[in-house]
Amino acid sequence: MSNSAKVWLVTGGSRGIGRAIVEKALAGGNRVAVLARSPNKSNNEKQLNLIADVSDEAQLTAAIEQIISQWGRIDIVVNNAGLHRGGKASRLDLEDWEAVLQTNLTGALQVIRATESHLERGASIINIGAVVGFRGFPGDAAYASSKAGLAGLTRALAIEFASRDIRVNLVIPGLVLTDMTSGLSEKAMDSMRAMIPLGRLGTAMEIADVVHSVASATYMTGAFIPVDGGLMSTFGLPG
């Protein structure tokens, strides 16, 4: 591994935005550990596929140990694993609420706790947020709460880890073309596009491009970076 190559850990890296982040890292000559409940098969020697659920501490610990055993370190952690279960508050099953928070928020913390001792100065942690964490949408209480919590966790850990020169930032995708959105009706897609100043949905690779820029931004920590076609500019970020 060259001096410029990095070891990435990407949770939820088997599809969508996570997969795009993995592909871009590999294309840059890096090594990538893909942590997912059902990772894709790959013969690329620079990709390590690990089966683990971020909400399962034992599975997570075993996966991190395997990365360290094989590559000796972790330079960049991307908390992308996510679970979405909707339902208005009066009808939201508490088991769904707990499952979403366990994956999206507690899972991210567990990944950080499991990797922290292996991160050296200059390491980068990137949490993947969501617009809904800042702008309310009916029927999205669980997901919105988990992503809002992730924003708070990002800022707290950015301060906590700063003395060790470990950066923690939040990338906030907007509406992105994925397997999930591709199944929407044309009417629904038109309605979504109408909310976005750029007039279109983003692509997973456009999000990945920003994640990689943030990973190399050595004077950025505690930052919230929207990648949303201007959607959040219509209501702004909290101070």
Average pLDDT estimate for 91-109: 94
What's the pLDDT at 140? 85
What CA–CA distance (Å, rounded) separates 5 from 17? 21
Q: What is the pTM of this model?
A: 0.93
What CA–CA distance (Å, rounded) separates 26 from 34? 11
Give catalytic residues, as residue numbers: 143
User: Around Cβ 7, how many Cβ atoms within 10 Å?
Assistant: 24
What's the pLDDT at 86? 78
Contacts of 51 (CB under 8 A, 6+ apart): 36, 37, 38, 39, 59, 63
What is the domain partition of the chain in residue ranges? 7-227
Is 76 in contact with 215 (CB distance < 8 Å)? yes
**CATH fold for the domain made of 7-227:** Rossmann fold (3.40.50)
Per-residue pLDDT of 216-230, as tens digits, reads 999 999 999 999 999
Residue 89 confidence class, pLDDT cut points 50, 70, 90: confident
What's the pLDDT at 95? 92
- Residue 120: which region, alpha, beta or left (left: phi > 0; alpha: psi -120 to 50)? beta
Average pLDDT estimate for 26-36: 97
Residues forming a β-bridge with 8: 32, 76
Residue 43 reports pLDDT greater than 60: yes
Residue 94 confidence class, pLDDT cut points 50, 70, 90: very high
Contacts of 146 (CB under 8 A, 6+ apart): 100, 101, 103, 104, 105, 133
What's the pLDDT at 190? 86
Per-residue pLDDT of 182-198, as tens digits, reads 666 788 788 888 999 99
What CA–CA distance (Å, rounded) separates 132 from 172? 9
